[in-house]
């Protein structure tokens, strides 16, 4: 191995005792490949197993915690006890290759396609549709329903423990239900679950408290609880960096094990601040990085990109598309073959890369999402 990449291979130990063999994490990525009943498919298990041999931790695609929260076709579920054997298959496939397995849990809220939720009853904090054209107007959740969904996050955590996962990640990012409660764009409530910033933080913090409570009660060994968040929104009014700083101040007071930033670009600047104010990651790391471990992500493609990101002080780096294109990303760098890391997709490589058909078709039909070689090179 090139000695300069040594920092990427340093061990990391969370305060609760969970040990990671290096600093590279697989980011959660939707693959649309589970069965209609919410169980994982063979192709999905093989896809995860293929990518779990080098990274220290795999954060799965999101699993819905209740039937009203299913956000994607081909999404797997953690919404009832019958899902535990399916979840166990996934956890085992990851852990058998040497990585820690973390289940991301979520509710899609107003982002759920009506055909995927019972009775087409799309719900959210308020009756405010997403900005995308044709989005359904969601029904505002009642107080009793909100408390039920909080319990659903706890139950999904219990199932993750029973299935053998090493932790759960609460999906509070990317415009889904938890973020919908935090956002002034989607939350227009005037009860305890809305109003001012403190009110809009009530639901995210209640979910965290319930997940931590269940993990403490049921886990017999160290069990990670992480929280993923999006720092800003494009909408007006929307979540600002100032709002997020307040949320982070509250989250670091909770017994969470890490915070995971959702960004397209690790080096992106805040929307409403001057370039001199620093990047979003710098804001976050400076505010809470000494109190909670931060996982950084976004357009980190090469070993040098990862090393540069790690030098900002963020202890863990998540890779997404890079591990789809190059499942041996970590192994090649560790073996001194960093120049052999694949940075494009060849149209003939689906079978070699164990990419399930739905994900492969989405990649091939979404120009610009992945760097795809021309077919005459296949």
Q: What is the DSSP letter of 234?
A: S
Bridge partners (DSSP) listed for residue 24: 317
The position carrying tokens 């950084």 is 296
Computed on alpha carbons and rounded to an integer, the radius of gyration of the chain in Å comes to 20
Give buried/exposed letters for 306-327 (b at 16+ CB in 10 A, else e). bbebbebebbbbbbbbbbbbbb
Count of beta carbons in the 10 Å neighbourhood of residue 342: 16
Q: Token digits for 346?
A: 């060849």
- Look at residues 43, 48, 61 and name the one whose alpha carbon lies nearest to residue 99: 48
Q: Using CA atoms, how far apart are residues 18 and 30, in angstroms rounded to an integer?
A: 25
Gap between the Cα atoms of 261 and 281, Å rounded: 8
Q: Tokens at residue 144, please?
A: 């009793």
DSSP single-letter state for residue 244? H
Q: Give the residue among 234, 251, 127 at the shortest CA–CA distance from 174.
A: 234
| HEC string for 4-35 | HHHHHHCCEECCCCCEECCCEEECCCCCCCCC
**Catalytic residue list contains 47:** no
Q: How far apart are CA 114 and CA 71, in angstroms?
A: 9
Neighbours of 192 (CB within 10 A): 13
**Cα–Cα separations (whole angstroms), residue 134 to 116, 123, 174, 345:** 16, 16, 19, 33
Contacts of 243 (CB under 8 A, 6+ apart): 182, 184, 197
The single residue of 176, 218, 227, 258 carrying the catalytic annotation is: 176
Return the active site residues. 176
């Amino acid at each position: 191995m090139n000695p300069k990449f040594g920092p990427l291979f340093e061990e990391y130990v969370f305060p609760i005792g969970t040990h990671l063999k290096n600093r590279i994490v697989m980011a959660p990525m939707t693959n649309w490949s589970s069965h209609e009943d919410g169980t994982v498919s063979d192709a999905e298990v093989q896809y995860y197993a293929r990518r779990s041999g080098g990274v220290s931790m795999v954060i799965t695609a999101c699993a819905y915690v209740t039937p009203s929260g299913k956000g994607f076709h081909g999404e797997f579920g953690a919404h009832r006890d019958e899902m535990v054997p399916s979840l166990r298959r996934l956890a085992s496939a990851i852990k058998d290759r040497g990585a820690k397995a973390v289940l991301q849990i979520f509710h899609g809220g107003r982002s759920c396609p009506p055909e995927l939720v019972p009775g087409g009853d799309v719900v959210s904090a308020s009756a405010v549709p997403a900005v995308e054209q044709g989005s359904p107007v969601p029904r505002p959740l009642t107080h009793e329903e909100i408390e039920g969904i909080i319990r659903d996050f706890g139950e999904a955590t219990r199932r993750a423990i029973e299935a053998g996962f090493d932790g759960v990640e609460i999906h509070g990012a990317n415009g889904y239900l938890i973020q919908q409660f935090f956002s002034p764009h989607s939350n227009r409530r005037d009860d305890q679950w809305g109003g001012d910033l403190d009110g809009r933080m009530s639901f995210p913090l209640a979910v965290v408290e319930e997940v931590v409570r269940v993990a403490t009660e049921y886990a017999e060994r160290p069990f990670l609880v992480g929280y993923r968040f999006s720092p800003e929104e494009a909408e007006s009014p929307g979540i600002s960096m100032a709002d997020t700083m307040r949320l982070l101040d509250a989250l670091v007071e909770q017994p969470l094990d890490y915070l995971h930033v959702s960004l397209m670009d690790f080096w992106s600047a805040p929307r409403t601040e001057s370039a001199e104010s620093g990047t979003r990651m710098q804001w976050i790391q400076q505010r809470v990085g000494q109190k909670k471990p931060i996982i950084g992500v976004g357009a980190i493609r090469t070993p040098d990109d990862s090393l540069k990101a790690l030098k900002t002080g963020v202890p863990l780096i998540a890779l997404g598309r890079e591990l789809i294109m190059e499942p041996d990303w970590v192994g090649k760098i560790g073996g001194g073959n960093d120049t052999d890391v694949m940075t494009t997709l060849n149209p003939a490589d689906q079978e070699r890369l164990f990419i399930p058909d739905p994900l492969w078709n989405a990649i091939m039909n979404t120009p610009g999402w992945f760097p795809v070689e021309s077919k005459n090179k296949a």
